[in-house]
Amino acid sequence: MMNYSVAVDRLHVERGGREVVRGVSFGVEPGTVTGLLGPSGCGKSTLMRSVVGVQIIRAGRVTVLGHDAGTRAVRGRVGYATQDPAIYPDLTVAEALRYFADIVRAPASDVSRVIGEVGLRDHADALIGRLSGGQHSRANLAVALLGDPEVLVLDEPTVGLDPVLRDELWELFTRLAAAGTTLLVSSHVMDEAARCHRLLLMRDGALLASDTPQRLRERTGESDLERAFLRLIQEVTT
């Protein structure tokens, strides 16, 4: 497990008296994009919260860059974007990013860099609360990119975006991984899954599979990942 950027070992999480993550283990190799797929409510977000270290867990261990998740040693080295934007609606994009840049000790030039990366250059001085849904979530994503974190945990970063933007963001993710960043990205869009190095298929709080897209296709004999996912569910439930 020593070489993984993110290592999750027999993780159990309870929320509201229900076990939403049930004994999940996996490792994420450095410099790769790992896709976390599964229907809404399957425990993806809870798993990501655990990796970032803001989730109270019942059992198991989550290690990020060799340290326990959420401890002081890794807090500034992990970029995190929640599914619902967590960014001040009463600030402009540039103002909000400048604040978060201060916190992660990113250089001032980082603000305009990440604004460009998420395609918000024309809206840098717009109030976040007045942005459209897609722009809002891109502003939220931009916060996670500040300071070039070694690990990026992105919860549904492309939801509600038009195909061109989605494609651009996935190119960015691939580029970041090639430069050594480790990405854990959740999605429920299967064509995004094909662009990941590795896929984690989650259902009902448990991992159904952890494999490369290619091997998942081979294993299930399906060329389409959506159908491969269905086949895996059938295998488990029958």
Q: Does 205 bind another protein (CB under 8 A)?
A: no
Sheet holding 198-203, edge to edge: 78-81, 151-155, 182-187, 33-37, 198-203, 206-211
Task: State which of residues 8, 78, 115, 201 lies at the interface with another protein (CB under 8 A).
Answer: 78
Query: What is the three-class DSSP state of 171?
Result: helix
| Residue 76 binds another protein (CB under 8 A) | yes
Nearest approach, Cβ of 27 to another protein (angstroms)? 21
Q: How far is CA 9 from the centre of its chain?
A: 18
Nearest distance from C-beta of residue 180 to another protein, angstroms: 21
Nearest approach in angstroms of CB 103 to another protein is 5
From 11-19, 107-115, 198-206, 230-238, give the range in contact with another protein by CB under 8 A: 11-19
> Terminus-to-terminus CA distance in the chain, angstroms?
32
- The reply to whether 102 sits near another protein by the rule CB under 8 A is yes
Shortest Å distance, C-beta 76 to another protein: 4
Q: Which phi and psi angles does 198 have, rounded to 5°?
A: -145, 150
Least distance between another protein and beta carbon 81 (Å): 9
CA distance linking residue 61 with residue 83, whole number of Å? 24
Assess 89 for contact with another protein (CB under 8 A).
yes
Instruction: Please answer whether residues 146 and 110 qualify as being in contact, where contact means their C-beta atoms are separated by less than 8 angstroms.
Output: yes
Number of residues binding to another protein, judged by CB under 8 A = 32
Return d(Cα 181, Cα 174) in angstroms, integer. Answer: 9
List residues near another protein by CB under 8 A. Answer: 14-16, 52-56, 70, 72, 75-76, 78, 80, 82, 84, 86-91, 95-96, 99-100, 102-105, 127, 143
